[in-house]
Every structure is written in C-alpha cells, then in structure tokens.
C-alpha cells in the first residue's frame, strides 16, 4: 500500500492531492487547532496529531515506521519576501530542523521513509544567499538521500500565480535505480544537459546552488513539463452573487480603491467598463515607495494567495462591464477553487479562518501532478527492488 505521513499538514491539501493516486495518509501533524478542525471535518480524526513538531521529536514513536513517503510543507514565514528573512534560524521556518531530527531518529532504527517531499516558497532558494537550502541538502545527504529540486507554478494548473519550490529526497538504493546521479563532473557533462532540458523546472538559482555544493548528493528525476490547464479567473468566480449582496463594496470604498490605482491601471479599468459583458480582474494592495497602491491584474489569473494578516493582504475582485463596476473580496470558497479544491471540501464557517485555511496551503493539482509523475513511479521502482 502507498502510505505517507503528512507534517505541517494544515487543512490537508497535500492529502487531498495525493488521494487521487490512491496514496493513504496514516498520520498527520499540525500545530493549529483551527486547521486541525477543518482537517478532521474532511478526513476524520483517526490519524491527526495536534501539537508542536518539537514535541513530535520527543515522541517520535507516535509517527508510524516504514512509511514510504514523508511530506512537509514547512512554514514559509522566515523565507518569504513578505517575511523577515530570518531563514532557517527563524522560529517558524526553523521548525524544519525538528523534521530533520525526526528523520534522523527513524534512520537510526532503520525505519526512515524512502522518499521525502519538502514544499516552500521560492525564497527558500535565496534565503541566506542559498546557504539554507544547501544546509538542508547536506542534512539529507548525511542521511543517505539524493536530492532533486524543482520549481512549479500553480498558474499551469489553476487560475492562480503561485510559484513554489519542491525538494524531493530519495533514499540511496532507490535513487541509484531511478535518478541520474551527479558525479561532480564538468559543466558540459550530459548530467547538466538533462538538468537544463526543462529550465522552467530547474532554474539558474538551483544550478548555482548545485555548482557551489557539488560534494552533496544531487540527482535528477525524469520529469516532463506539465500540460498547461485551461483554468482562468472566470472559472472560479461565483457569478451568482446578486448585485444587492452585502459582499459588494459601497461607493466610498470603491472610490478609495480607485484612487489607490496608478493612472495606467485606472485606464485599464475604464476600458473594462466599455465592454458589453462583465470581465473580471483582481487587485492586491502593495506598499510602493511608502505608499499603499492597488495593483490591478486582468490577465485572467489571480495573484498568489497569502495568509491574511490584515485587510490589505486579501485578494480583491473587480467586476466591470456594461458601463459599471463593482468590487468585493474573493470569498473563501473562491480561494479554495484557486487552490484547485473541490466544492464539496468543507471550509470553516468563519470567513477569516477560511482565508487562513487556504492562504498558506498547497495547490491541489500541483500535488496531483507530483504524485502521478514522480511518487507513483518511485513506488513502482521500489517494488522491483524489494
């Protein structure tokens, strides 16, 4: 059976993505009671362990042994541009160290997973000038894993631009059968030709990291580019919300948003008004030169969802056409759709909890792609070895 353990589980969107390929979650952990509640609403409470991952280190026997896959979407707070950039020394992103400790414990008793997946923001690659990700690969190398790092953007799978980094670590015996191993050869070796075959999967940043740490266990998985899905903003918007709904903003609030736009974005909105149909755009407020600006996006995609720490971090929807325009926040359900979540997935009744549930989660179809193109193949190969 294809079993996995889910660390930093959130509301379970990694589980949601893996379930399509019949992967069975046998244990999950998160520190947030609110996220646990949503997780349990959707998947039951038989395998959820609520608590700090450092407490899991002290009680590692609670984590099932000999599970094929561990996944860890560890906190991005200290790695993202929006955070404080403290890196793995930060309190939240530093919880990755606890995860490594659990792997060491399992390794010492011969019960470590064959494959590990780490997921985080692109800032992971540049945190402390790449030293944080190199240190992470060093830990995996010491534990007998070979590592590939790829970048995937949810925009290829859903109506949201959400670039993320995925580190896949494969146990040595399995890696030698399924990965192309870097033997510290020169830049013109065919290993690098394979590396550069899909530059959107493995960027120059990853290349620079490998070149500066060639003594570590680097390998390449055979991955093809995902086929781009035909998903756009119009596909996730709830067009049934009536004009008299309280969700739509009043004139004063609308005009304030308009004044926060640049002249070019105001012109774009004015052009949308002229259409004989409704079109949609999203707005995200950003600080530009000390001033709050409302940036309008009209390419059919939403910007990257974030965990809301205040009203300015929530995605705003504009509907324009027929010489009128209206504004409201995207709803939690629309957030969920941007993450590729089915409409039957139960969300918190409280809207803010719904935004939190989806704002720092993974995009489900991205995980489905990784499961089908990587994990399933590794699992099949492991059966042949055994």
Tens-place pLDDT, residues 164-196: 999 999 999 999 999 999 987 666 678 998 999
Same domain, residue pair 215 and 247:
no
Is there a domain that residue 7 lies in? Answer: yes
77 versus 238: which is more confidently predicted?
238
Nearest-angstrom CA–CA distance, 173 and 250: 62
Alpha carbon distance, N-terminus to C-terminus of the chain: 14
Would the CA dihedral through 97, 80, 48, 308 be positive or negative? Answer: positive
Same domain, residue pair 121 and 87:
yes
The predicted pLDDT at position 83 comes to: 47
Is there a domain that residue 207 lies in? Answer: yes
- Residue 251, both tokens: 């004139």
Catalytic residues: 76
Is there a domain that residue 341 lies in? Answer: no
Same domain, residue pair 213 and 299:
no
Strand pairing class (279-288; 180-181): unpaired
Nearest-angstrom CA–CA distance, 217 and 147: 6
Per residue in 46-75, pLDDT (tens digit) is: 999 999 999 999 999 999 998 999 999 987
Same domain, residue pair 58 and 167:
yes
Total count of domains within the chain? 2
Q: What CATH number does the domain containing 57 carry?
A: 3.40.50.150
Same domain, residue pair 163 and 56:
yes
Q: Which domain holds residue 53?
A: 3-226+363-385
Nearest-angstrom CA–CA distance, 36 and 51: 10
pTM, 2 dp:
0.93
The predicted pLDDT at position 185 comes to: 66
Same domain, residue pair 173 and 28:
yes
Per residue in 272-317, pLDDT (tens digit) is: 999 999 999 999 888 888 888 999 999 999 999 987 654 457 899 9
Same domain, residue pair 48 and 143:
yes
Please provide the DSSP assignment of 216-272 as one string.
S-BEE---PPPPPP---HHHHS-TTS-TT-TTS--HHHHHHHHHTS-HHHHHHHHHH
Is there a domain that residue 352 lies in? Answer: no
Q: Which residues contact 188 (CB under 8 A, 6 or more apart)?
A: none
Same domain, residue pair 42 and 127:
yes
CB 69 within 8 A of CB 5: yes
Same domain, residue pair 205 and 96:
yes
The predicted pLDDT at position 90 comes to: 42
DSSP 128: G
Is there a domain that residue 342 lies in? Answer: no
Nearest-angstrom CA–CA distance, 116 and 4: 9
Same domain, residue pair 265 and 302:
yes
């Amino acid at each position: 059976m294809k079993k996995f353990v889910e660390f930093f589980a959130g509301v379970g969107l990694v589980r949601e993505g893996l379930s399509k390929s019949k992967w069975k979650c046998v244990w999950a952990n998160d520190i947030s009671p609110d996220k646990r509640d949503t997780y349990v609403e959707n998947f039951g409470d038989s395998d959820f362990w609520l608590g700090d991952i450092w407490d899991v280190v002290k009680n590692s026997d609670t984590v099932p042994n000999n599970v094929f896959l561990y996944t860890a979407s560890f906190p991005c707070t200290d790695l993202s541009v929006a955070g404080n950039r403290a890196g793995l020394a930060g309190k939240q992103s530093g919880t990755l160290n606890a995860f490594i400790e659990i792997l060491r414990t399992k390794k010492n008793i011969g019960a470590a997973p064959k494959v590990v997946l780490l997921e985080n923001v692109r800032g992971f690659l540049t945190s402390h000038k790449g030293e944080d990700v190199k240190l992470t690969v060093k830990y995996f190398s010491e534990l007998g894993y070979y590592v590939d790092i790829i970048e995937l953007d949810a925009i290829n799978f859903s109506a949201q631009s959400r670039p993320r980094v995925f580190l896949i670590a494969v146990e040595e015996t399995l890696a030698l059968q399924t990965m192309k191993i870097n033997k510290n050869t020169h830049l013109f070796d065919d290993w690098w030709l394979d590396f550069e075959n899909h530059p959107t999967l493995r960027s120059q940043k990853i290349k620079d990291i490998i070149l500066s740490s060639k003594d570590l266990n680097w390998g390449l998985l055979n991955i093809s580019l995902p086929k781009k899905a035909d998903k756009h903003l119009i596909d996730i918007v709830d067009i049934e919300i009536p004009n008299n709904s309280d969700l739509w903003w009043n004139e004063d609030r609308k005009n304030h948003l308009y004044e926060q736009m640049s002249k070019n974005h105001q012109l774009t909105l004015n052009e949308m008004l002229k259409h004989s149909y409704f079109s949609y755009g999203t707005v995200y407020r950003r600080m530009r030169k000390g001033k709050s600006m409302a940036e309008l996006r009209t390419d059919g995609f939403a910007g990257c969802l974030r965990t809301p720490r205040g009203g300015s971090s929530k995605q705003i929807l504009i509907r324009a056409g027929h010489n009128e325009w209206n504004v409201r926040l995207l709803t939690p359900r629309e957030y969920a759709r941007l993450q590729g979540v089915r409409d039957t997935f139960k969300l918190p009744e409280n809207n803010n909890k719904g935004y939190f549930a989806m704002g720092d989660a993974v995009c489900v179809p991205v995980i489905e792609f990784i499961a089908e193109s990587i994990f399933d193949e590794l699992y099949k190969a492991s059966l042949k070895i055994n």
